Amino acid sequence: MTPSAQQRDFAASLHELLAAADTPSMARAWGRGEHPSGLALWRQLAKLGVTALAIPESHDGLGATAMDLVVAFEELGHHAVPGPLVESIAVAPLLAPPQWLPRLASGEVIATVAPWYLDADIADLVLGGTPGALAACVDRTRRLFPAAGDLTEPAFNAGVLACAAQLSGLGRALLEMSVSYAKSRVQFGQPIGQLQAIKHRLAEVLIALDFARPLLYAAAFSGTARDISAAKVACGDAAYLAARTALQVHGAIGYTEEFDLSIWFSKVRALVSVWGTPAEHRARVMAAL
């Protein structure tokens, strides 16, 4: 129940693409409502097959497994890619009328879904209800248009799992940033990463992320509501610990808009509370036990 060699290769090529794409600048532009660079990346993701993953082969998709999606969303989270990724790539394929599926697969159509209608202003297809007015979000790259609406349970679960995977990737990136900063930032005549107070906090982050990930993979494998909720709780907790720790390790520079950490931090904070709050998911686990 871990990614295969082929899935790891796919993750590596996605990582390569995203690392070269300057996703922080893209995220900032997206938050201002300037979409061209983000949409250009969307076309590149489509070329790599990311938008086709959850579409059945009968409709020009790849008919990929939940594990393939999890692997892809961990990388998308790792690079804090903006846009309705969960909505269009993981959820819409389960809700869209069949005639839309080939164009979702090819990336020509971008979809969004209820009840947050993320990026409804650029979506070609809106599912589950009608979007409301633009609303603020702690993550300014998330342009929400909340309104009533409903999702089917399989669609909701697909969104939760993809969101959990994004959180896992975001958390890992935050740990990498923190470790790298702790090695280079010198105070009291030594790298701060030499101080035990810093070491122990970062060790806790690694432990949380390392033990959340197997739940994510187990959830991709079983597909049950119970396991998906458990994964969302654990990935959310681990990513949030990574975010708080990252902010503390970076100190004042981390608390600036200009520094890229702010993009990862605020995305984690937003994702912890969407696709079901931690309390809702814990209640769902208990109900399933």
Partner 1 sequence: MKGLREWLAANVPHRLPSLDTAAGNEAHREWESKLYAAGWAVVTWPAEYGGQDASLHDWLTFEEEYWAADAPIRVGQNGLFLLAPTLFSFGTKEQRDRLLPPMARAEQVWAQAWSEPEAGSDLAAIRSTATRVDGGWLLNGQKTWSSRAAFADRAFGLFRSEPGSQRHRGLTYLMFDLRAQGVTVRPIAQLNGEPGFAEIFLEAVFVPDVDVIGEPGQGWQVAMSTTSHERGLSLRSPGRFIAAAGRLLELWRELGDPRDTAMRDRVVDAWIGAQAYRWHTHATVDRLASGGKLGAESSTGKVFWSELDLSLHEAALDLLGPTHDDRWTDGYLFALAGPIYAGTNEVQRNVIAERLLGLPR
Residue 144 or 219: the one with the smaller Cβ distance to partner 1 is 219
Residue 221 or 259: the one with the smaller Cβ distance to partner 1 is 221
Binding flag, residue 135, partner 1 (CB under 8 A) = no
Binding flag, residue 186, partner 1 (CB under 8 A) = no
In angstroms, give the least distance from the CB of 116 to partner 1: 24
* Residue numbers 210-249 binding partner 1 by CB under 8 A: 210-215, 217-218, 227, 230, 233-234
Part of the chain binding partner 1 (CB under 8 A), chosen from 24-32, 74-82, 138-146, 200-208: 200-208
The distance from CA 66 to its chain's CA centroid, rounded to whole angstroms, is: 15
Binding flag, residue 280, partner 1 (CB under 8 A) = no
Residue 60 or 204: the one with the smaller Cβ distance to partner 1 is 204
For partner 1, the binding residue among 189, 196, 252, 258 (CB under 8 A) is 196
Crossing angle of helices 196-222 and 153-184, rounded to 10°: 160
Q: DSSP states of the chain as a string?
A: ----HHHHHHHHHHHHHHHTTTHHHHHHHHHTT--HHHHHHHHHHHHHTGGGTTS-GGGTS----HHHHHHHHHHHHHTT--SSHIIIIIIGGGTS-GGGHHHHHHTS--EEETTT-TTTTT-SEEESS-----B--SSTT--B--------HHHHHHHHHHHHHHHHHHHHHHHHHHHHHHHH-EETTEEGGGSHHHHHHHHHHHHHHHHHHHHHHHHHHH--HHHHHHHHHHHHHHHHHHHHHHHHHHGGGGGSSSSTHHHHHHHHHHHHHSSS-HHHHHHHHHHH-
In angstroms, give the least distance from the CB of 149 to partner 1: 27
Part of the chain binding partner 1 (CB under 8 A), chosen from 27-35, 142-150, 160-168, 207-215: 207-215
In angstroms, give the least distance from the CB of 235 to partner 1: 11
For partner 1, the binding residue among 96, 198, 272, 274 (CB under 8 A) is 198
In angstroms, give the least distance from the CB of 37 to partner 1: 33
Binding flag, residue 2, partner 1 (CB under 8 A) = yes
Residues within the interface to partner 1 (CB under 8 A): 1-2, 175, 179, 182-183, 190-191, 193-194, 196, 198-200, 202-204, 206-207, 210-215, 217-218, 227, 230, 233-234, 279, 282-283, 285-286, 289
